[in-house]
Structure 1
């Protein structure tokens, strides 16, 4: 009986490793294929798209960089960083008010903020376009900053609020005894205690803002304010597309997010497990 259980355990492990190996191939092969095709010519790509490149030449990557990817990258970095700072700060301040301050209609305000989770961007596109055009913010950096912040505040507030609820109230009382005001208590005591969930929300927002396409496509129409997901489409032409250059641009766009996820995934899991998982 014991040997039979041991045999079943070995079989289960083999199936598990086979499944994980297959999953790794499914996830990593498209990325590797994209990187390798960035070193080919159009003739090589269409002749045998799954073959290895005949040589390692970074000419396609230089062409992609010179054809606008550098500008799109700078815009994406600017929009991502500013919207991340704005979203996390506003959400943390809102979560602090909802959990640590006795304010009238607290539950109603919480429901209103979290109700934003049910609003899908596609439903609001037309009125938002008209509104931004009327106030002169259409096709501008500010349009993306406001939209990325507004539509992510409810979700980010939900995560940070869930973490702050379990923080001991004694720290607030001790801060008041020491003469600390609300701002000092929030900035110097509560916010450092929320470091795990703050790190998680920062990483989640970066992944969202870097890859967001709908708002960036609808609310921008000039190359000087387009982000990477939209800007890469300009590398494609109706009269002939140099696909290796497009693949090279996609690799340049993917590299920062891949490294960020690889180095930050444990912080995402830890922050969410310590917060919402409590």
Structure 2
């Protein structure tokens, strides 16, 4: 027994190699973020004359300057677009996944495959048709010009994840609710939605990351600076502050904060949702 326990407690060469690889990857990911944060508290000389050192004087006013010079406008625009995209994706994909799960014939497979066909479309290929469509609809250079395409391109993968989760919900709960006289909408609202919080959290994080960082559509479909989102705004922001990189770095940190905070708050549900969605259905 003692020998078997000691063997289980030993760390093999393979585990050491994987641990070393994970540590190296963590350093490669964390250090650039650490450097950006530290540089956001420096002035021009501090960044270029002491690249690897900590700030000798912590310039917290860089964040105020970045916020006042335009980051606040880009930040609010991205919040509006991301919130609208998340709401649209969650409502449409949960309804679609629930409807597909309710169909008991081949139509369910046809509908699911039709939605999954959206994965074959590249956003870059659709740029020109989307541009002309939004222009003819009269919604180009509005928030809707970004929200509608974002929702459309996030529907396929979101439906796939949510449907996979819905399939794993015991049918006994639905049958009991039907016997008690519940409607399909009540079953959707009171059974499926509460139980699907992990996968919905996963969809929310993935959608927020996409909408917050998307650049191509935001460049093509928005003309006015008043409606530019964070990715495009940072490019304009950095061009206008070529000599003040500390303020530019502060703007980058502000742009990253919402997604980081969202992931920290929802990380447990995100991991549970990814695990559940990958093994069911």
Q: Normalized against structure 2, the TM-score is what?
A: 0.90
Match of 1:122 in 2: 124
| CA offset digits 1:80-131 (Å, max 9, x no partner) | 1121111011000000110123477222211111111111100100110111
The offset of 1:222, in angstroms, is 1.5
Match of 2:102 in 1: 100
Flag the 1:53–1:167 CA change in 2: closer, same or farther, 3 A.
Answer: same
Match of 1:195 in 2: 197
1:229 equivalent in alignment to 2:231: yes
Distance 1:11 1:55 in 2: 45
Distance 1:270 1:135 in 2: 40
Match of 1:38 in 2: 40
Flag the 1:6–1:115 CA change in 2: closer, same or farther, 3 A.
Answer: closer
Match of 2:269 in 1: 267
Distance 1:110 1:10 in 2: 45
Flag the 1:6–1:158 CA change in 2: closer, same or farther, 3 A.
Answer: closer
Match of 2:140 in 1: 138
Q: How many residues of Structure 1 are paired with residues of Structure 2 in the alignment?
A: 277
Distance 1:172 1:52 in 2: 59
The offset of 1:253, in angstroms, is 0.8
CA RMSD of superposed structures (Å): 2.4
Aligned to 2:176, which of 174, 177, 186? 174
The offset of 1:7, in angstroms, is 11
Distance 2:241 2:215 in 1: 24
The offset of 1:13, in angstroms, is 5.2
Distance 1:7 1:160 in 2: 39
Distance 1:26 1:143 in 2: 36
1:205 equivalent in alignment to 2:207: yes
Distance 1:226 1:244 in 2: 22
Distance 2:277 2:75 in 1: 33
Flag the 1:103–1:26 CA change in 2: closer, same or farther, 3 A.
Answer: same
The offset of 1:217, in angstroms, is 1.6
Structure 2: runs of 5+ lacking an equivalent: none
Match of 1:9 in 2: 11
Distance 1:84 1:259 in 2: 16
Aligned to 1:253, which of 239, 247, 255? 255
| CA offset digits 1:33-65 (Å, max 9, x no partner) | 101111222233222322322200112211110
Match of 1:219 in 2: 221
Match of 1:164 in 2: 166
Decide whether the 8 Å contact of 1:39 with 1:57 is kept in 2. yes
The offset of 1:237, in angstroms, is 2.6
SS in structure 2 at match of 1:237: helix
Once structures 1 and 2 are overlaid, which stretch shifts more, 206-215 or 165-174? 165-174
Structure 1: runs of 5+ lacking an equivalent: none
The offset of 1:171, in angstroms, is 2.3
Decide whether the 8 Å contact of 1:235 with 1:241 is kept in 2. no
Q: Normalized against structure 1, the TM-score is what?
A: 0.91
1:91 equivalent in alignment to 2:93: yes
SS in structure 2 at match of 1:275: helix
Distance 1:7 1:134 in 2: 67
| CA offset digits 1:136-169 (Å, max 9, x no partner) | 1111101111011111011100100111122222
